[in-house]
Structure 1
Amino acid sequence: MFDAANAPVPETAEKPVKPAAKKRVTAVDAARCLALIGMIGVHVLPEESTGGDASLTWVLFAGRASALFALLAGVSLAFSSGGSRPLRGRPLKAAMAGVAARAVVIMVIGMALAYAEPSAEIILVYYGVMFLLAVPLLGLTSRMLAILSVVFAIGGPILLQALRGVIPAPEEDNNLTFGMLFTDPLVSAGQLLFTGFYPAVPWMAYMCAGLAIGKLDLSSRKIAAWLAAGGACLAAAAWAISGMLMVGVLHLTPGESADLLAAGDDPPVKVDSWAWLVAASPYSQMPLELLHTIGTGMVVLGLLILASKSLHQVIDVLAPAGSMTLTLYSGHLLFLAAGLLGERPFASFGLQIVAALLFGVLWRNLVGRGPLEAAVTAISTRVKNAVLRKESDQKDQPGPVKPGAAGPSGP
Structure 2
Amino acid sequence: MKQRIIGIDVARALAVIGMIIVNFKVVFGENGQSWVKSFASVFDGKAAATFVVLAGVGLALMTNSAIKNDDQTKLKIARFRILKRAVFLFFVGISYITIWPADILHFYGIYMVIIMVLLTCKERTILISGISIIIAYPIIITFLNYETGWDFDTLDYQYFWTFKGFMRNLFFNGFHPVMPWTAFMLFGYWFGKQDLHNDKFVKKTFWMSTIIFISIQVMSYVSILMLSEGNQEAALEITEILGTDPMPPLPIYMFNGIAIAFALISASILIAKKFANNFIIDALNKTGQLALTFYVAHVIIGMGIIEVINSSKIGNYSIEFSVIYAIVFSLLCILFAVIWRKYYNSGPLEWVMRKLTD
- Per mean C-alpha deviation after superposition, the further-off stretch among 151-160 and 85-94 is 85-94
Amino acid at match of 1:131: M
1:190 aligns with 2:154: no
**1:324 aligned partner:** 290
Q: Distance in 2 between matches of 1:280 and 1:170?
A: 20
1:268 aligns with 2:236: yes
What does 1:140-179 align with in structure 2 at a 5 Å threshold?
Answer: 140-164=121-145, 169=149
**1:374 aligned partner:** 351
- Per mean C-alpha deviation after superposition, the further-off stretch among 313-322 and 28-37 is 313-322
1:333 aligns with 2:299: yes
1:356 aligns with 2:333: yes
Amino acid at match of 1:102: R
Q: CA deviation at 1:215?
A: 0.4
TM-score in terms of structure 2 length: 0.84
Q: CA deviation at 1:217?
A: 1.2
Q: CA RMSD in A?
A: 3.0
SS of residue in 2 equivalent to 1:114: coil
Q: Highest relative contact order (Cα 8 Å, sep 6+), 1 or 2?
A: 2
SS of residue in 1 equivalent to 2:237: coil
Asked if the contact 1:83–1:214 (Cα under 8 Å) also holds between the matched residues in 2, the reply is: no
Asked if the contact 2:21–2:327 (Cα under 8 Å) also holds between the matched residues in 1, the reply is: no
**1:235 aligned partner:** 213
Match among 151, 170, 189 for residue 211 of structure 1: 189
Asked if the contact 1:126–1:200 (Cα under 8 Å) also holds between the matched residues in 2, the reply is: yes
Amino acid at match of 2:136: G
**1:278 aligned partner:** 242
Residue segments in structure 1 that go unaligned for 5+ positions in a row: 1-20, 257-264, 382-411
Q: Distance in 2 between matches of 1:366 and 1:22?
A: 25
What does 1:32-47 align with in structure 2 at a 5 Å threshold?
Answer: 32-45=12-25, 47=30
In percent, how many aligned pairs have the same letter? 24
Give 1 or 2: higher helix fraction: 2
| Cα deviation digits, residues 276-295 of structure 1 (max 9, x gap) | 44332344411011101110
Residue segments in structure 2 that go unaligned for 5+ positions in a row: none
Q: Distance in 1 between matches of 2:222 and 2:238?
A: 19
Asked if the contact 1:156–1:201 (Cα under 8 Å) also holds between the matched residues in 2, the reply is: yes
Q: CA deviation at 1:266?
A: 10
Amino acid at match of 2:82: V
Q: Distance in 2 between matches of 1:337 and 1:83?
A: 42
Q: Distance in 2 between matches of 1:206 and 1:91?
A: 25
Q: Distance in 1 between matches of 2:193 and 2:173?
A: 31
TM-score in terms of structure 1 length: 0.74
SS of residue in 1 equivalent to 2:327: helix
CA distance 1:346–1:60, shift in 2 (3 Å): closer
**1:28 aligned partner:** 8
Question: What count of residue pairs does the alignment treat as equivalent?
Answer: 339
**1:108 aligned partner:** 91
Highest Rg: 1 or 2? 1
